[in-house]
Amino acid sequence: MASNVYFADLRTSVRNNLFAKIKQLLNKLELSDSVGTNTMTAIKIHFGEEGNTSFIRPVFIRPVVEMVKELGGKPFVTDSNTLYVGSRSDAVTHLQTAARHGFNLTVLDAPVIIADGLRGNSSTTVRIEKKHIETAKIAQEIANAEAMVVMSHFKGHELPGFGGALKNLGMGCACREGKLQQHSNISPKVTRRKCIGCGECQRWCPAGAITITEEKKAVIDPESCIGCGECIVVCPQQAVAIRWNETIPVFQEKMVEYAYAACADKRENVLFLNFVVQVSPACDCYAHNDQPVVPDIGILASRDPVALDQACADLVNEAPGIAGSALGNDIDPGVDKFQLLYPKVDWRIQLRHAEEIGLGSREYDLVRL
């Protein structure tokens, strides 16, 4: 059965700006059915790595906060700590980064809470008994929330092909142990002939698993490697790789099983908004963001994360590519943009598996506001 996906384009007027459109989308999703008096409501967001500017603007969260409060709910804005070294690996630096990016009480009118605690080990166990994951480790305050609005920046991603609602749920709602569980089958290797010994991978490795030899070559210790994949992306020579055909399908399936776990106890009270704007080729977890690959498209919303991500992927692929971006030049509408960005990644795996485990439907009806 097809799910409704609501679409708001970016055309505005004095009476109908983007803040009004966000509220219209939430009304279409019948937020009032999920939020009432004293409902603890998590607004799941990605605060962006320091140096990145493609994350959702904090001012766009304010109308969500306002609507939750109007219904009597208690909203809080949240994310979990990262697995890798960076400006969001513990709650102290994470909160500092969020504040520098404008996520603060003055702008949001809601508190910012790091969902998995000081060091990423505050969690609860959720039993789901799926193909890869029997018990998932979900960030404690995500589990404690009674309702959730998941706001995701839709963009490319080197492991699942793209990152949307499913990735924000699956990886973003897991504690550190849960993130490790999802990454456990990723075993990167260094191609010596390509490596120049610059040390960039070593600087980003959270496990201290990489050393630079006297011959100026990086070496990854498989016993110490936690499979986070940071080295794959930060290498300027593309000298780090994995067995894509074996690794990526399992990773994507684990990710969506974690997405299932993240909302298992409140499935009827989770709403999703995807911002298909500034569609960068890679994740907001990096300390930079490249030029968008397609023109800005709009904001989409649904109660079905599978249908929502499918609709967003279709709209991106239907759009013309931006010349000079990571896609190259003369990219016509209809070309698979994610396949061009990551030729060895089949992004459809995450959607197929999510549908198989009952997280949603890939069939959708696009309803334009």
Q: Which domains does the chain have, with CATH numbers?
A: 3-180+250-368 (3.40.50.11440), 189-241 (3.30.70.20)
Tens place of pLDDT per residue across the chain (369 aa): 899 999 999 999 999 999 999 999 999 999 999 999 999 999 999 999 999 999 999 999 999 999 999 999 999 999 999 987 788 989 999 999 999 999 999 999 999 999 999 999 999 999 999 999 999 999 999 999 999 999 999 999 989 999 999 999 999 999 989 998 998 888 889 999 999 999 999 998 988 999 999 999 999 999 999 888 888 878 989 899 877 666 889 999 999 999 999 999 999 999 999 999 999 999 888 888 999 999 999 999 999 999 999 999 999 999 999 999 999 987 899 999 999 999 999 999 999 999 999 999 999 999 999
Nearest to 87 by CA among 102, 78, 99: 99
d(CA 148, CA 134): 23
For the entire predicted model, the pTM comes to 0.91
Q: What is the DSSP letter of 302?
A: E
User: What's the chain's Rg over C-alpha atoms?
Assistant: 20
Q: Rounded distance, CA 364 to CA 369, Å? A: 15
Question: Do 248 and 207 touch, CB atoms closer than 8 A?
Answer: no
